[in-house]
Structure 1
Amino acid sequence: MGKRHEKLGIKQTIQRHWMDRTVQMMLAGMTEKEIRLELDAYLATQKQSGGMGERGRKTYGMAIGILASWFSPENDLIPLRDDALFIAKGLPVVEWLPLHWAVISASYPFWFNVARQVGRLLNLQEQITQAQIFSRLKELYGDRETVARNARYTVRSFVAWKILKDSETKGCYVKSTPVSVTNAQIILLLESALHASPEAKGSLSVLLNSPAFFSFCIPSMSGDLISQHSDRLEIDRYGLDDIFLRLR
Protein backbone atom coordinates (compact mmCIF):
# COMPACT_ATOMS: atom_id res chain seq x y z
CA MET A 1 0.00 0.00 0.00
CA GLY A 2 2.79 2.38 0.91
CA LYS A 3 4.58 2.33 -2.45
CA ARG A 4 1.31 2.77 -4.30
CA HIS A 5 0.49 5.92 -2.35
CA GLU A 6 3.94 7.39 -2.81
CA LYS A 7 4.21 6.93 -6.58
CA LEU A 8 3.03 9.49 -9.13
CA GLY A 9 2.90 7.48 -12.34
CA ILE A 10 0.67 9.61 -14.59
CA LYS A 11 3.37 10.35 -17.15
CA GLN A 12 1.15 11.32 -20.05
CA THR A 13 -2.40 12.32 -20.91
CA ILE A 14 -4.73 9.32 -20.94
CA GLN A 15 -7.59 9.37 -23.42
CA ARG A 16 -10.85 7.86 -22.25
CA HIS A 17 -11.35 5.88 -25.47
CA TRP A 18 -8.09 4.05 -24.74
CA MET A 19 -9.65 2.87 -21.48
CA ASP A 20 -12.86 1.91 -23.32
CA ARG A 21 -10.90 -0.12 -25.85
CA THR A 22 -9.04 -1.94 -23.07
CA VAL A 23 -12.28 -2.95 -21.35
CA GLN A 24 -13.81 -4.05 -24.65
CA MET A 25 -10.85 -6.36 -25.22
CA MET A 26 -11.23 -7.80 -21.73
CA LEU A 27 -14.95 -8.40 -22.27
CA ALA A 28 -14.08 -10.14 -25.52
CA GLY A 29 -12.02 -12.64 -23.52
CA MET A 30 -8.56 -11.58 -24.67
CA THR A 31 -5.59 -12.56 -22.49
CA GLU A 32 -3.23 -10.06 -20.90
CA LYS A 33 -0.57 -10.91 -23.49
CA GLU A 34 -3.03 -10.38 -26.35
CA ILE A 35 -4.22 -7.07 -24.88
CA ARG A 36 -0.65 -5.80 -24.49
CA LEU A 37 0.16 -6.69 -28.10
CA GLU A 38 -3.02 -5.04 -29.37
CA LEU A 39 -2.42 -1.88 -27.31
CA ASP A 40 1.19 -1.82 -28.48
CA ALA A 41 0.03 -1.59 -32.09
CA TYR A 42 -2.94 0.69 -31.40
CA LEU A 43 -1.23 3.29 -29.20
CA ALA A 44 1.62 3.63 -31.68
CA THR A 45 -0.95 5.47 -33.84
CA GLN A 46 -2.57 7.54 -31.04
CA LYS A 47 -1.39 10.97 -29.93
CA GLN A 48 -1.90 12.18 -26.35
CA SER A 49 -4.06 14.97 -27.73
CA GLY A 50 -6.56 12.40 -28.95
CA GLY A 51 -5.61 12.67 -32.61
CA MET A 52 -3.86 10.21 -34.89
CA GLY A 53 -0.12 10.11 -35.50
CA GLU A 54 2.96 7.95 -35.04
CA ARG A 55 4.51 7.74 -31.58
CA GLY A 56 7.59 6.10 -30.15
CA ARG A 57 7.39 3.03 -27.88
CA LYS A 58 8.94 4.95 -24.98
CA THR A 59 6.04 7.43 -24.81
CA TYR A 60 3.02 5.23 -25.49
CA GLY A 61 4.48 2.48 -23.29
CA MET A 62 3.80 4.75 -20.31
CA ALA A 63 0.12 4.73 -21.23
CA ILE A 64 0.03 0.93 -21.30
CA GLY A 65 1.24 0.92 -17.70
CA ILE A 66 -1.79 2.98 -16.65
CA LEU A 67 -4.23 1.00 -18.81
CA ALA A 68 -2.90 -2.08 -16.98
CA SER A 69 -4.99 -0.87 -14.02
CA TRP A 70 -7.71 -2.80 -15.86
CA PHE A 71 -6.00 -5.87 -17.29
CA SER A 72 -3.17 -6.39 -14.79
CA PRO A 73 -3.92 -4.73 -11.41
CA GLU A 74 -2.09 -5.48 -8.19
CA ASN A 75 -3.42 -8.57 -6.43
CA ASP A 76 -5.43 -6.72 -3.77
CA LEU A 77 -7.20 -4.70 -6.48
CA ILE A 78 -8.33 -7.66 -8.59
CA PRO A 79 -11.73 -8.05 -6.81
CA LEU A 80 -12.53 -4.35 -7.40
CA ARG A 81 -11.46 -4.66 -11.05
CA ASP A 82 -13.55 -7.82 -11.46
CA ASP A 83 -16.65 -6.06 -10.09
CA ALA A 84 -16.02 -3.09 -12.38
CA LEU A 85 -15.76 -5.43 -15.37
CA PHE A 86 -19.00 -7.19 -14.38
CA ILE A 87 -20.80 -3.83 -14.13
CA ALA A 88 -19.34 -2.70 -17.48
CA LYS A 89 -20.79 -5.79 -19.14
CA GLY A 90 -24.32 -4.55 -18.39
CA LEU A 91 -23.82 -0.91 -19.39
CA PRO A 92 -23.29 0.95 -22.67
CA VAL A 93 -19.75 2.20 -23.23
CA VAL A 94 -20.81 5.83 -22.67
CA GLU A 95 -21.58 4.97 -19.03
CA TRP A 96 -18.20 3.43 -18.22
CA LEU A 97 -16.51 6.63 -17.04
CA PRO A 98 -17.16 6.06 -13.28
CA LEU A 99 -15.73 2.54 -13.64
CA HIS A 100 -12.56 3.84 -15.26
CA TRP A 101 -12.34 6.44 -12.49
CA ALA A 102 -12.62 3.82 -9.75
CA VAL A 103 -10.08 1.46 -11.31
CA ILE A 104 -7.45 4.10 -12.03
CA SER A 105 -7.93 5.88 -8.66
CA ALA A 106 -7.35 2.64 -6.76
CA SER A 107 -4.21 1.84 -8.75
CA TYR A 108 -2.90 5.41 -8.85
CA PRO A 109 -3.87 7.36 -5.70
CA PHE A 110 -2.08 10.37 -7.21
CA TRP A 111 -4.94 10.57 -9.74
CA PHE A 112 -7.43 10.60 -6.86
CA ASN A 113 -5.45 13.25 -4.97
CA VAL A 114 -5.27 15.53 -8.00
CA ALA A 115 -9.05 15.19 -8.34
CA ARG A 116 -9.49 16.01 -4.65
CA GLN A 117 -7.50 19.23 -4.97
CA VAL A 118 -9.38 20.18 -8.13
CA GLY A 119 -12.68 19.53 -6.37
CA ARG A 120 -11.70 21.59 -3.33
CA LEU A 121 -10.79 24.53 -5.53
CA LEU A 122 -14.02 24.22 -7.51
CA ASN A 123 -15.95 24.34 -4.24
CA LEU A 124 -14.43 27.76 -3.65
CA GLN A 125 -14.52 29.32 -7.11
CA GLU A 126 -16.00 28.74 -10.56
CA GLN A 127 -12.69 28.95 -12.42
CA ILE A 128 -9.44 27.41 -11.23
CA THR A 129 -5.87 27.61 -12.47
CA GLN A 130 -3.14 25.09 -13.09
CA ALA A 131 -0.90 26.98 -10.68
CA GLN A 132 -3.45 26.65 -7.85
CA ILE A 133 -3.70 22.89 -8.37
CA PHE A 134 0.08 22.43 -8.50
CA SER A 135 0.58 24.55 -5.38
CA ARG A 136 -1.73 22.35 -3.32
CA LEU A 137 -0.19 19.14 -4.61
CA LYS A 138 3.32 20.28 -3.78
CA GLU A 139 2.23 20.58 -0.16
CA LEU A 140 1.47 16.85 -0.27
CA TYR A 141 4.23 15.52 -2.51
CA GLY A 142 6.98 18.11 -2.25
CA ASP A 143 8.17 20.85 -4.56
CA ARG A 144 9.44 18.69 -7.41
CA GLU A 145 9.17 19.26 -11.13
CA THR A 146 7.93 15.68 -11.53
CA VAL A 147 4.92 16.50 -9.31
CA ALA A 148 3.91 19.40 -11.54
CA ARG A 149 4.52 17.37 -14.70
CA ASN A 150 2.45 14.38 -13.53
CA ALA A 151 -0.28 16.71 -12.27
CA ARG A 152 -0.36 18.46 -15.66
CA TYR A 153 -0.90 15.14 -17.44
CA THR A 154 -3.61 14.18 -14.94
CA VAL A 155 -5.47 17.46 -15.37
CA ARG A 156 -5.22 17.18 -19.16
CA SER A 157 -6.69 13.68 -18.82
CA PHE A 158 -9.61 15.19 -16.89
CA VAL A 159 -10.15 17.59 -19.80
CA ALA A 160 -9.88 14.74 -22.32
CA TRP A 161 -12.51 12.83 -20.33
CA LYS A 162 -14.71 15.97 -20.43
CA ILE A 163 -15.03 16.29 -16.65
CA LEU A 164 -13.09 19.57 -16.75
CA LYS A 165 -13.26 22.18 -19.48
CA ASP A 166 -10.62 24.61 -20.69
CA SER A 167 -11.68 28.20 -20.13
CA GLU A 168 -10.90 31.02 -22.53
CA THR A 169 -7.78 31.76 -20.47
CA LYS A 170 -4.90 29.35 -21.00
CA GLY A 171 -4.14 27.24 -17.93
CA CYS A 172 -7.58 27.88 -16.42
CA TYR A 173 -10.41 25.37 -16.05
CA VAL A 174 -14.11 25.25 -15.29
CA LYS A 175 -16.29 22.38 -14.14
CA SER A 176 -18.28 20.27 -16.59
CA THR A 177 -21.77 18.93 -15.90
CA PRO A 178 -21.45 16.14 -13.29
CA VAL A 179 -22.06 12.55 -14.43
CA SER A 180 -24.92 10.50 -12.95
CA VAL A 181 -23.91 7.19 -11.37
CA THR A 182 -25.72 4.01 -10.38
CA ASN A 183 -25.69 2.59 -6.84
CA ALA A 184 -23.26 -0.14 -7.93
CA GLN A 185 -20.92 2.48 -9.38
CA ILE A 186 -21.14 4.59 -6.20
CA ILE A 187 -20.13 1.63 -4.05
CA LEU A 188 -17.22 0.93 -6.38
CA LEU A 189 -16.14 4.59 -6.21
CA LEU A 190 -16.27 4.47 -2.39
CA GLU A 191 -14.11 1.35 -2.38
CA SER A 192 -11.62 3.00 -4.73
CA ALA A 193 -11.44 6.02 -2.42
CA LEU A 194 -10.49 3.71 0.47
CA HIS A 195 -7.78 2.07 -1.66
CA ALA A 196 -6.53 5.57 -2.54
CA SER A 197 -6.23 6.44 1.17
CA PRO A 198 -3.27 5.12 3.21
CA GLU A 199 -5.63 4.59 6.17
CA ALA A 200 -8.07 2.54 4.04
CA LYS A 201 -11.01 3.82 6.10
CA GLY A 202 -13.19 6.89 6.42
CA SER A 203 -16.53 8.40 7.39
CA LEU A 204 -19.31 7.48 4.96
CA SER A 205 -20.67 11.04 4.87
CA VAL A 206 -17.19 12.47 4.24
CA LEU A 207 -16.50 9.94 1.47
CA LEU A 208 -19.84 10.60 -0.25
CA ASN A 209 -19.08 14.31 -0.24
CA SER A 210 -15.42 13.97 -1.16
CA PRO A 211 -14.26 16.76 -3.50
CA ALA A 212 -12.43 14.01 -5.42
CA PHE A 213 -15.86 13.05 -6.77
CA PHE A 214 -16.52 16.54 -8.15
CA SER A 215 -17.31 15.05 -11.55
CA PHE A 216 -20.17 12.83 -10.29
CA CYS A 217 -23.70 13.33 -8.96
CA ILE A 218 -23.47 11.21 -5.82
CA PRO A 219 -26.63 11.01 -3.68
CA SER A 220 -26.69 9.91 -0.05
CA MET A 221 -26.42 6.19 0.59
CA SER A 222 -27.06 4.09 3.69
CA GLY A 223 -24.61 1.74 5.30
CA ASP A 224 -27.21 -1.02 5.01
CA LEU A 225 -27.37 -0.66 1.23
CA ILE A 226 -23.58 -0.84 1.02
CA SER A 227 -23.56 -3.96 3.20
CA GLN A 228 -26.11 -5.62 0.93
CA HIS A 229 -24.05 -5.01 -2.21
CA SER A 230 -20.43 -5.34 -1.06
CA ASP A 231 -18.62 -7.99 0.95
CA ARG A 232 -15.33 -6.06 0.79
CA LEU A 233 -16.45 -3.01 2.76
CA GLU A 234 -16.82 -3.21 6.53
CA ILE A 235 -19.43 -0.96 8.16
CA ASP A 236 -18.62 0.40 11.63
CA ARG A 237 -21.34 2.31 13.46
CA TYR A 238 -20.74 4.85 16.21
CA GLY A 239 -23.94 6.19 17.75
CA LEU A 240 -26.98 6.80 15.55
CA ASP A 241 -25.47 8.71 12.68
CA ASP A 242 -21.73 8.07 12.56
CA ILE A 243 -20.97 5.40 9.98
CA PHE A 244 -17.43 4.50 8.97
CA LEU A 245 -16.26 2.39 6.08
CA ARG A 246 -13.09 0.37 5.91
CA LEU A 247 -11.65 -2.29 3.68
CA ARG A 248 -12.01 -5.81 5.01
Structure 2
Amino acid sequence: MSKFTSFSRHLDKDWLDQTLYWVAKGVDNSTLNQSIENMLTNTVKTPENRRKARNLLVSIWGPDKNPGSRDFDETALSLYRKTEQSELVLQWGKLVARKPFFADIARFIGRYSRLNPSFQYAQVKKRMCELYGDTESTARSTRAVLKTMQELGALLKDEAGVITIAPSILINDADTINWLLKGVLEADEQTSRALDEALHDPIWFPFQFGFNANHIDSKWFELHQQGNNLYLFLKQDVQ
Protein backbone atom coordinates (compact mmCIF):
# COMPACT_ATOMS: atom_id res chain seq x y z
CA MET A 1 0.00 0.00 0.00
CA SER A 2 1.30 3.45 -0.93
CA LYS A 3 2.11 5.82 1.90
CA PHE A 4 1.30 9.50 1.62
CA THR A 5 3.23 12.33 3.21
CA SER A 6 0.20 14.65 3.73
CA PHE A 7 2.38 17.48 5.05
CA SER A 8 2.51 19.90 2.14
CA ARG A 9 4.08 22.94 3.85
CA HIS A 10 5.54 24.07 7.16
CA LEU A 11 3.36 25.53 9.89
CA ASP A 12 4.25 28.48 12.09
CA LYS A 13 3.84 28.03 15.82
CA ASP A 14 1.54 31.05 15.97
CA TRP A 15 -0.80 29.46 13.42
CA LEU A 16 -1.02 26.22 15.38
CA ASP A 17 -1.56 28.07 18.66
CA GLN A 18 -4.27 30.31 17.23
CA THR A 19 -6.06 27.37 15.62
CA LEU A 20 -6.08 25.53 18.94
CA TYR A 21 -7.46 28.66 20.63
CA TRP A 22 -10.37 28.88 18.18
CA VAL A 23 -11.19 25.17 18.44
CA ALA A 24 -11.11 25.36 22.25
CA LYS A 25 -13.56 28.28 22.07
CA GLY A 26 -15.97 26.02 20.18
CA VAL A 27 -16.15 27.72 16.78
CA ASP A 28 -17.87 25.69 14.06
CA ASN A 29 -15.92 24.23 11.16
CA SER A 30 -16.98 26.91 8.66
CA THR A 31 -15.96 29.72 11.02
CA LEU A 32 -12.69 27.95 11.78
CA ASN A 33 -11.78 27.74 8.10
CA GLN A 34 -12.65 31.39 7.48
CA SER A 35 -10.76 32.54 10.58
CA ILE A 36 -7.66 30.66 9.48
CA GLU A 37 -7.95 32.09 5.96
CA ASN A 38 -8.10 35.61 7.40
CA MET A 39 -5.15 34.92 9.70
CA LEU A 40 -2.98 33.69 6.82
CA THR A 41 -3.82 36.47 4.35
CA ASN A 42 -1.00 38.82 5.36
CA THR A 43 1.72 36.17 5.68
CA VAL A 44 0.95 33.59 2.98
CA LYS A 45 0.64 35.39 -0.33
CA THR A 46 -0.82 32.88 -2.78
CA PRO A 47 -4.31 31.36 -2.45
CA GLU A 48 -2.93 27.88 -3.14
CA ASN A 49 -0.41 28.06 -0.31
CA ARG A 50 -3.06 29.47 2.03
CA ARG A 51 -5.32 26.57 1.11
CA LYS A 52 -2.56 24.06 1.90
CA ALA A 53 -1.80 25.68 5.25
CA ARG A 54 -5.47 26.01 6.18
CA ASN A 55 -6.29 22.41 5.30
CA LEU A 56 -3.29 21.18 7.25
CA LEU A 57 -4.22 23.18 10.36
CA VAL A 58 -7.83 21.98 10.22
CA SER A 59 -6.71 18.38 9.74
CA ILE A 60 -4.67 18.64 12.96
CA TRP A 61 -7.05 20.50 15.26
CA GLY A 62 -10.41 20.34 13.50
CA PRO A 63 -13.03 17.63 14.10
CA ASP A 64 -11.95 14.10 13.19
CA LYS A 65 -14.38 12.05 11.11
CA ASN A 66 -13.50 8.98 13.19
CA PRO A 67 -15.88 8.88 16.20
CA GLY A 68 -13.28 6.86 18.10
CA SER A 69 -11.07 9.96 18.22
CA ARG A 70 -13.64 12.12 20.01
CA ASP A 71 -12.43 11.38 23.54
CA PHE A 72 -8.81 11.97 22.55
CA ASP A 73 -9.69 15.31 20.92
CA GLU A 74 -11.86 16.48 23.82
CA THR A 75 -9.13 15.59 26.31
CA ALA A 76 -6.65 17.70 24.35
CA LEU A 77 -8.95 20.70 24.67
CA SER A 78 -9.49 20.04 28.39
CA LEU A 79 -5.73 19.97 28.93
CA TYR A 80 -5.42 23.26 27.06
CA ARG A 81 -8.19 24.91 29.06
CA LYS A 82 -6.37 24.15 32.30
CA THR A 83 -3.87 26.90 31.55
CA GLU A 84 -5.11 28.64 28.36
CA GLN A 85 -1.58 28.11 27.06
CA SER A 86 -0.61 26.12 23.99
CA GLU A 87 2.30 24.08 25.24
CA LEU A 88 4.63 22.20 22.92
CA VAL A 89 3.41 18.89 24.33
CA LEU A 90 -0.17 19.49 23.12
CA GLN A 91 0.88 20.44 19.61
CA TRP A 92 3.32 17.53 19.49
CA GLY A 93 0.74 15.03 20.70
CA LYS A 94 -1.79 16.13 18.09
CA LEU A 95 0.77 16.15 15.27
CA VAL A 96 1.91 12.64 16.19
CA ALA A 97 -1.69 11.39 16.38
CA ARG A 98 -2.96 13.03 13.20
CA LYS A 99 0.08 13.10 10.91
CA PRO A 100 1.92 9.78 10.37
CA PHE A 101 4.64 11.47 8.30
CA PHE A 102 5.40 13.85 11.17
CA ALA A 103 5.42 10.89 13.57
CA ASP A 104 7.84 8.91 11.39
CA ILE A 105 10.26 11.84 11.24
CA ALA A 106 9.99 12.43 14.99
CA ARG A 107 10.73 8.77 15.71
CA PHE A 108 13.71 8.74 13.34
CA ILE A 109 15.18 11.90 14.87
CA GLY A 110 14.68 10.60 18.39
CA ARG A 111 16.36 7.29 17.59
CA TYR A 112 19.19 8.84 15.59
CA SER A 113 19.90 11.48 18.24
CA ARG A 114 20.47 8.88 20.93
CA LEU A 115 23.73 8.00 19.18
CA ASN A 116 24.58 11.23 17.33
CA PRO A 117 24.70 14.79 18.67
CA SER A 118 23.53 16.36 15.41
CA PHE A 119 22.19 15.61 11.95
CA GLN A 120 21.29 17.29 8.66
CA TYR A 121 18.27 17.43 6.40
CA ALA A 122 19.78 14.95 3.92
CA GLN A 123 19.94 12.20 6.56
CA VAL A 124 16.28 12.60 7.45
CA LYS A 125 15.29 12.81 3.79
CA LYS A 126 17.14 9.56 3.03
CA ARG A 127 15.15 7.70 5.68
CA MET A 128 11.83 9.20 4.60
CA CYS A 129 12.52 8.29 0.97
CA GLU A 130 13.03 4.70 2.10
CA LEU A 131 9.60 4.77 3.76
CA TYR A 132 7.59 6.94 1.37
CA GLY A 133 9.42 6.82 -1.96
CA ASP A 134 12.11 9.01 -3.47
CA THR A 135 9.90 11.81 -4.78
CA GLU A 136 9.84 15.59 -4.69
CA SER A 137 6.78 15.35 -2.45
CA THR A 138 8.78 13.38 0.14
CA ALA A 139 11.65 15.88 -0.01
CA ARG A 140 9.33 18.89 0.26
CA SER A 141 7.32 17.39 3.11
CA THR A 142 10.49 16.47 5.00
CA ARG A 143 11.66 20.09 4.82
CA ALA A 144 8.20 21.23 5.95
CA VAL A 145 8.15 18.96 8.99
CA LEU A 146 11.68 19.88 10.05
CA LYS A 147 10.88 23.59 9.78
CA THR A 148 7.67 23.07 11.76
CA MET A 149 9.66 21.31 14.49
CA GLN A 150 12.03 24.29 14.53
CA GLU A 151 9.08 26.68 14.77
CA LEU A 152 7.81 24.71 17.77
CA GLY A 153 11.21 24.93 19.45
CA ALA A 154 11.97 21.19 19.38
CA LEU A 155 14.91 21.53 16.97
CA LEU A 156 17.74 24.03 16.60
CA LYS A 157 19.49 24.73 13.28
CA ASP A 158 22.73 26.64 12.74
CA GLU A 159 23.87 28.60 9.69
CA ALA A 160 25.67 25.56 8.29
CA GLY A 161 22.44 23.55 8.28
CA VAL A 162 23.44 21.37 11.23
CA ILE A 163 20.41 20.42 13.31
CA THR A 164 20.36 19.51 17.01
CA ILE A 165 17.52 18.74 19.37
CA ALA A 166 16.61 21.38 21.93
CA PRO A 167 16.92 20.65 25.67
CA SER A 168 14.12 18.32 26.73
CA ILE A 169 11.13 19.48 28.75
CA LEU A 170 10.09 17.62 31.90
CA ILE A 171 6.42 16.59 31.86
CA ASN A 172 4.97 15.48 35.19
CA ASP A 173 1.25 15.85 34.52
CA ALA A 174 -0.25 12.34 34.47
CA ASP A 175 -3.31 13.37 32.43
CA THR A 176 -1.08 14.76 29.69
CA ILE A 177 1.13 11.66 29.56
CA ASN A 178 -1.86 9.30 29.48
CA TRP A 179 -3.23 11.36 26.58
CA LEU A 180 0.07 11.07 24.70
CA LEU A 181 0.18 7.30 25.25
CA LYS A 182 -3.36 6.87 23.97
CA GLY A 183 -2.57 8.95 20.91
CA VAL A 184 0.57 7.08 19.92
CA LEU A 185 -1.01 3.63 20.38
CA GLU A 186 -3.94 4.61 18.18
CA ALA A 187 -1.70 6.30 15.61
CA ASP A 188 0.46 3.16 15.39
CA GLU A 189 -2.71 1.03 15.25
CA GLN A 190 -1.61 -0.89 18.33
CA THR A 191 -3.81 -2.17 21.14
CA SER A 192 -0.97 -3.02 23.52
CA ARG A 193 2.64 -2.19 24.20
CA ALA A 194 5.19 -2.56 26.97
CA LEU A 195 4.74 0.47 29.23
CA ASP A 196 8.44 1.25 29.51
CA GLU A 197 8.82 1.01 25.73
CA ALA A 198 5.88 3.36 25.16
CA LEU A 199 7.22 5.92 27.63
CA HIS A 200 10.70 5.82 26.09
CA ASP A 201 9.59 5.78 22.46
CA PRO A 202 12.04 8.03 20.55
CA ILE A 203 9.01 9.85 19.15
CA TRP A 204 8.94 11.77 22.47
CA PHE A 205 12.47 13.16 22.10
CA PRO A 206 11.48 16.73 23.13
CA PHE A 207 10.32 15.49 26.55
CA GLN A 208 11.20 13.62 29.71
CA PHE A 209 8.34 12.00 31.59
CA GLY A 210 7.91 11.85 35.34
CA PHE A 211 5.51 8.90 35.30
CA ASN A 212 5.06 5.35 36.53
CA ALA A 213 2.49 2.55 36.45
CA ASN A 214 0.53 4.06 39.35
CA HIS A 215 -0.36 7.01 37.12
CA ILE A 216 -2.05 4.97 34.38
CA ASP A 217 -5.61 6.13 33.64
CA SER A 218 -7.91 3.12 34.07
CA LYS A 219 -10.53 4.83 31.90
CA TRP A 220 -8.36 4.20 28.84
CA PHE A 221 -5.93 1.44 29.79
CA GLU A 222 -5.44 -1.85 31.56
CA LEU A 223 -2.06 -3.02 32.85
CA HIS A 224 -0.96 -6.65 32.74
CA GLN A 225 2.29 -8.28 33.77
CA GLN A 226 3.89 -10.38 31.03
CA GLY A 227 7.18 -11.89 32.09
CA ASN A 228 9.34 -9.10 33.47
CA ASN A 229 7.40 -6.33 31.73
CA LEU A 230 4.24 -4.40 32.43
CA TYR A 231 2.09 -4.13 29.32
CA LEU A 232 -0.31 -1.34 28.54
CA PHE A 233 -3.58 -2.48 26.94
CA LEU A 234 -5.87 0.05 25.29
CA LYS A 235 -9.50 -0.53 26.24
CA GLN A 236 -11.43 -1.17 23.06
CA ASP A 237 -14.82 0.01 24.27
CA VAL A 238 -13.65 3.55 25.09
CA GLN A 239 -14.53 6.14 22.45
- TM-aligned CA deviation for residue 245 of structure 1: 3.4
The counterpart of 1:77, out of the listed 43, 51, 69, is 69
SS in 1 for 2:163: strand
Structure 1 position 179 matched with structure 2 position 149: no
Aligned 8 A contact 1:165 1:176 in 2? yes
Find the aligned partners of 1:62 and 1:247 in 2 and give their Cα distance.
35
CA distance 1:8–1:235, shift in 2 (3 Å): farther
Which position in structure 2 is the counterpart of 1:104?
95
Whichever residue aligns with residue 24 of structure 1, its letter is: Y
Deviations 1:153-207 (CA, angstroms, capped at 9, x unpaired) = 001100111110002312x201111123222111111112112213353221111
TM-score by length of 2: 0.89
Single out whichever of 198-207 and 58-67 deviates more from structure 2.
198-207
For 1:52, the equivalent position in structure 2 comes to none
What is the TM-score when the length of structure 1 is the normalising length? 0.86
The 8 Å contact of residues 112 and 212 in structure 1, kept in 2 or not, is answered as yes
Deviates more, 1:20-29 or 1:192-201: 192-201
Matched AA of 2:92: W
Query: CA separation in 2, counterparts of 1:240 and 1:125?
Result: 30
Aligned residues of 1:77 and 1:106 also touching (Cα < 8 A) = no
1-side partners of 2:97 and 2:169: how far apart? 19
Separation of aligned partners in 1, 2:63 and 2:114: 35
- Secondary structure of the corresponding residue to residue 33 of structure 1: helix
Aligned equivalent of 1:24: 21
Q: 1:122 aligns with which of 113, 117, 122?
A: 113
How many Å apart are 1:44 and its aligned residue?
A: 1.7
Decide which moves more: 37-46 or 157-166: 37-46
Gaps of 5+ in 2: none
Aligned to 1:88: 80
Equivalent residue number for residue 194 of structure 2? 203
> What is the CA–CA distance in structure 1 between the aligned matches of 2:209 and 2:184, rounded to whole Å?
14
Which residue of structure 1 lines up, in the alignment, with residue 215 of structure 2?
225
Corresponding residue for 1:50?
none
Q: In percent, how many aligned pairs have the same letter?
A: 21
Aligned residue among 28, 51, 56 for 1:66? 56
Unaligned runs of 5+ in 1: 48-54
SS in 2 for 1:169: coil
- One-letter code of the match for 2:51? G
Letter of the aligned partner of 2:135 in structure 1? R
Cα 1:61–1:25 change in 2 (3 A) is same
The one-letter code of the counterpart of 2:186 is: H
**CA separation in 2, counterparts of 1:196 and 1:34?**
28
Q: Secondary structure at the match of 2:114?
A: helix
8 Å contact 1:104–1:111 — kept in the other structure?
yes
SS in 2 for 1:60: helix
Deviation at 1:240, TM superposition (A): 4.9
Q: How many residue pairs are counted as aligned between the two chains?
A: 233
Aligned counterparts of 2:119 and 2:191: Cα–Cα separation in 1: 29
Equivalent residues in 2 for 1:39-54, closer than 5 Å = 39-47=36-44
User: Once the two structures are superposed, what CA deviation does each residue of 1:14-48 show, in whole Å capped at 9, x if it has no partner?
Assistant: 1121111112112323211111111111112224x
Deviations 1:203-224 (A, max 9, x none): 21111111111111123421x4
Q: CA deviation at 1:61?
A: 1.4
